[in-house]
A and B are shown apart, each in its own frame.
Chain A
């Protein structure tokens, strides 16, 4: 069976991901699925494309399909540069890409949830921004990983993908899981809410469904605060999407149901100050 992707447009791509995730739920016996990317070029792929695609492949891998990539430029990029095979055939949670501007897929697992943000920060400092204080980048990634693991019930089907554009200094991150979805998760507490309103509720400061005792509804706000001073943060979940900037949040219905949650944002790394000396001793107020 062929699964064709022929557009970069976010909503259409995610609609395809959603539709393909529904095609067959019962386990297959190594039936072959060929992912096709005719008329697409790898340089146009954003983190949302790669992270959501990884979740779809993981989904089919668990159903015991044999997943193949076509030999188009995108198929070869995923296989050769991003080394997709090593994740599913080799059970790796991370491999170094053959492209310095991508930090490649990170399979979000409980054991490594605190390492990813630290790794990304050190990678960026080693390759691009030796003197920058990039702890905000580390914080947002760590919060996103915990958020996924604490609330999604994705049973390990969760990936992040990060790409850095040297010219614009933009770091793009997408975190995707095929779990219950933020909207459904919020509706477990407020069943009367629509998915759009559930996403708005999720992003309220101090709102939490208390999946873990240490949750207090600050995580999404910390991510939003650290990424939206000049760019947007986007959450796509179930039948709604939300766009947040530093002034407001807007949510809208989706025409399809995304099977989990996709969080994406860009950060302009040039805005951060250089690493500075620590203050000897200060009080909070």
Chain B
């Protein structure tokens, strides 16, 4: 995702993971080297997945090399976007 703006990186991530959700595979997102997960990245990626496929789709995701801070922020984001 390097070299992209946050919104572009979010859209690119959506394009990668969305077709995988049509299969039986689960998804591991590796956040090694990632500092922040701002809304303009999350909205076109995770947020769009939730809007189109529902909150339960998140059960097929796991996150590798994530900080506790990022995990807390991500959980808050998902809770709020689903509220």
- List residues of chain A with CB under 8 Å of any chain B CB: 114, 117-118, 121, 133, 135-136, 138-139, 142-143, 146, 205-206, 212-216, 218-219, 221-222, 225, 273, 276, 278-285
Complex partner residue of B83 from A205, A219, A278, A282, CB under 8 angstroms = A205
User: What is the total of A-B residue contacts with beta carbons within 8 Å?
Assistant: 107
**Contact (Cβ within 8 A) A146 B40:** yes
Interface size class of B (residues with CB under 8 A): 35 or more
Chain A residues with Cβ below 8 Å from B68 are 273, 276, 279
Complex partner residue of A146 from B10, B38, B63, CB under 8 angstroms = B38
**Contact (Cβ within 8 A) A284 B61:** yes
Complex Cα distance A121/B74, Å?
20
Chain A minimum-CB-distance residue to B42: A218
**Contact (Cβ within 8 A) B44 A214:** yes
- List residues of chain B with CB under 8 Å of any chain A CB: 5-7, 10-11, 28, 31-32, 35-40, 42-44, 47, 58-59, 61-71, 73-78, 80-81, 83
**Contact (Cβ within 8 A) A279 B71:** yes
Query: How far does the Cβ of A26 sit from chain B's closest Cβ, in whole Å?
Result: 37
**Contact (Cβ within 8 A) B65 A278:** yes
**Contact (Cβ within 8 A) A282 B63:** yes
Chain B residues with Cβ below 8 Å from A278 are 31-32, 65-67
Complex Cα distance A133/B36, Å?
11
Chain A residues with Cβ below 8 Å from B66 are 278-279, 282
Complex Cα distance A284/B70, Å?
11
Complex Cα distance A57/B64, Å?
47
Query: How far does the Cβ of A229 sit from chain B's closest Cβ, in whole Å?
Result: 12
Query: How far does the Cβ of A285 sit from chain B's closest Cβ, in whole Å?
Result: 7
Complex Cα distance A253/B36, Å?
35
